[in-house]
Chains A and B, each alone.
Chain A
Amino acid sequence: MAPETKNFKEDILFHEFNTTETDYNQRGYHLEVALEVNQVRKFAQKAYDEGFYLVFVTGFHVLSEETAEGTTSGLNGVYQFARYDRLYRIKGQVSVPEDMSLPSICDIYQGASWHERETRDLYGINFEGHPNLKPLLLSDEDRDFHPLLKEEKKLKSLEAVSWTPEALESVDADAKAPSSDSIDS
């Protein structure tokens, strides 16, 4: 029995959030949700109520930006959820504010506890409301060392690492042109 991929109501379920449908064949998930910090818990609760399971929580590091609300920290929190009963993956992404903290979702999804502790280890994001935010993968002495934070010169802006429909073609064109860029370190 091949799972169906069309005619789900999930895209309506998350209508209160800023959602974009994505092409599964190119990106491996169906719905992208751009979150505000105060929406994270609401989003997780909605996902839990609708029967999604937590795939992972992680982060990634880009250049900090000046926005109308203030300066961002450059860190992003990434949440992925999927379903046991049919094929549907969603990704939530939130920009971490300058105080480096996000609300914890580990009372909704207890499995998020370890993922949040890992993200604190690797990026230094502080998850408010987590009952036990001790180092998990790193040792206690390395509390203030966050290995996945990038050096200043390697940081790129959020736009430079965001998906655009033209991105794929532009890389193809680059590959054909005589290459003068060896950016690999």
Chain B
Amino acid sequence: MLESDFQKQNRFFLNMGPQHPSTHGVLLIVLEMSGEYVLDPQPVLGFVHRMHEKMAESRPCGGFMPNTARMDYVCALPYNHGYVSLIERKTGIEVPKRAEYIRVITSELNRVASHLLWLGAYLLDLGAFTPILYGFDDREHILDILEDITGSRLTYCYYRFGGVYQDIDDKFVDATRAFIQRLRKRFVIYEKLVTKNIIFIKRTENIGIVSPDMALRYGMTGPNLRGSGIAYDVRKNEPYSVYPEFDFEVPVGAQGDCLDRYMVRIREMEQSLRIIEQALDRLPEGPVRAKVPKNIKLSPGDCNFAVEAARGELSYYLVGDGTSTPYRLKVRVPSYSNLSCLPELGRGILLPDLVSILGSFDLVIPEMDR
């Protein structure tokens, strides 16, 4: 973009947020603008910073469980999953197979709920009001299903060291199967309503292209990375829990624009449904909670555990010191690394395209700020 002298004199700063609807939370982006073009977008974080890592250092490891759900409140169960698996790896606790199946089923349901919320919110950013009503309608079914067994609708604390809080019942299985049938029919509607919509395609195709090298330099993961054609999914590449027992694909995009990231998430929902279906078919009998010592001691030394959250790779890095309280707990969250490429990606683009890019990144601000 060539700037005339007039434009050079007329550079100005624009605050996008912290209450801008398309930032999906309290995120501020300071934009240096020239006319309608963005010259330098600089995100400002920390509005909902709660210092979860300090809280982890000040209580026995079991007491941190509720905190995990309050980082990514949209997709809390994978955060539960990562933390319990970390402590189980550290202490060598064996988990009953049925419990791992239940964890996978509920985590995948939560992932679908998260993607449905993103679908509605993204299209709302792009000016389409109807899809969010459809998306929330479907998501409501998942929240009802999960509320019955976990006791909460959003900030779940359902997993326990060595298993899950309680067993699932026939009602859960029937409701989940019915929901899968329902959502498969709804995908047809979404495709007609959104995917082939010419306005939607114009707003997303060739916008915000993330190259594989750029993704690597910023450590991007999750659907944002897979949109660029790299088939990296922690569930496949670093198998945990019982994921290796299921047959599912890792959808990838071609060139890494907003449309690719959209398509990856839509196809990922279908794969999640496949995983849930297989898990329900093969659900083993048995206990859902192993016997674990009341006072869990974390041996000296470090330990890492990575899981695939809805937005990408979530890593917990723990340093133990022989007591039951973690000496250090680092939480590596996906949105943080994903958004950090914005100053490079958003240079020289139109302001409406920046809104499209931010939406396609599927940001959850409390997760980044921790």
| Given A109-B219, A160-B321: A84 in contact with B230 (beta carbons within 8 A) | yes
Task: Write out the residue numbers on chain B whose beta carbons fall within 8 Å of the beta carbon of A137.
Answer: 45-46, 49, 369-370
Task: Write out the residue numbers on chain A whose beta carbons fall within 8 Å of the beta carbon of B325.
Answer: 183-185
Asked if A35 is at the interface of the complex by the 8 Å CB criterion, the answer is no
Interface pick from B64-72, B194-202, B234-242: B234-242
Which of A55, A162, A179 lies in contact with B332, CB distance below 8 A? A55
Which of A28, A150, A156, A183 lies in contact with B89, CB distance below 8 A? A28
Task: Write out the residue numbers on chain B whose beta carbons fall within 8 Å of the beta carbon of A85.
Answer: 232
Q: Is the CB of A27 within 8 A of B53?
A: no
Q: Which residue of B lies closest to A89 (CB)?
A: B304
CB distance from A161 to the nearest CB of B (A): 5
CA distance in complex: A118, B366 (Å): 15
Q: Is the CB of B315 within 8 A of A56?
A: yes
Q: Is the CB of B299 within 8 A of A147?
A: no
CB distance from A87 to the nearest CB of B (A): 5
Q: Is the CB of A111 within 8 A of B219?
A: yes
CA distance in complex: A111, B317 (Å): 19
Which of B51, B89, B315, B369 lies in contact with A147, CB distance below 8 A? B51
Most buried by A among B244, B320, B332: B332
CB distance from A47 to the nearest CB of B (A): 10
Q: Is the CB of A138 within 8 A of B315?
A: no
Interface pick from B3-11, B104-112, B260-268, B333-341: B333-341
Task: Write out the residue numbers on chain B whose beta carbons fall within 8 Å of the beta carbon of A78.
Answer: 317, 330
| Given A111-B218, A136-B45, A137-B369: A163 in contact with B300 (beta carbons within 8 A) | yes
Number of A-B contacts (CB under 8 A): 154
| Given A28-B303, A148-B53: A168 in contact with B92 (beta carbons within 8 A) | yes
CB distance from B252 to the nearest CB of A (A): 11
CA distance in complex: A28, B313 (Å): 14
Asked if A114 is at the interface of the complex by the 8 Å CB criterion, the answer is yes
Number of contacting residues on B, CB 8 A?
60
Asked if A86 is at the interface of the complex by the 8 Å CB criterion, the answer is yes
CA distance in complex: A27, B92 (Å): 11
What class of interface size applies to chain A in its complex with B?
35 or more
Asked if B156 is at the interface of the complex by the 8 Å CB criterion, the answer is no
Asked if A17 is at the interface of the complex by the 8 Å CB criterion, the answer is no
Asked if B179 is at the interface of the complex by the 8 Å CB criterion, the answer is no
Asked if A26 is at the interface of the complex by the 8 Å CB criterion, the answer is yes
| Given A160-B321, A171-B322: A138 in contact with B300 (beta carbons within 8 A) | no
Q: Which residue of A lies closest to B240 (CB)?
A: A28
CB distance from B191 to the nearest CB of A (A): 29
CA distance in complex: A89, B302 (Å): 14
Q: Is the CB of B295 within 8 A of A110?
A: no
CA distance in complex: A168, B299 (Å): 6
Asked if A73 is at the interface of the complex by the 8 Å CB criterion, the answer is no
Which of B60, B219, B299, B313 lies in contact with A167, CB distance below 8 A? B299
Task: Write out the residue numbers on chain A whose beta carbons fall within 8 Å of the beta carbon of B298.
Answer: 171
Q: Is the CB of A80 within 8 A of B315?
A: yes
Which of A56, A84, A184 lies in contact with B324, CB distance below 8 A? A184
Q: Is the CB of A80 within 8 A of B317?
A: yes
CB distance from B194 to the nearest CB of A (A): 29
| Given A28-B303, A84-B230, A110-B217: A60 in contact with B322 (beta carbons within 8 A) | no
CA distance in complex: A143, B265 (Å): 39
Q: Is the CB of A27 within 8 A of B304?
A: yes
Task: Write out the residue numbers on chain A whose beta carbons fall within 8 Å of the beta carbon of B244.
Answer: 2
* CB proximity to A under 8 Å, residues B269-306: 293, 295, 297-306
A-B contact pairs, 7 of them (CB 8 A): A3-B238, A25-B89, A26-B92, A111-B219, A137-B46, A147-B51, A161-B320
What 5 additional pairs, Cβ within 8 angstroms, besides A148-B53, A184-B60, A184-B323?
A56-B317, A110-B217, A111-B217, A150-B57, A185-B325
Query: Which 7 pairs show the lowest CB-CB distances between chains A and B?
Result: A163-B301, A28-B304, A111-B218, A84-B232, A54-B219, A60-B328, A56-B332
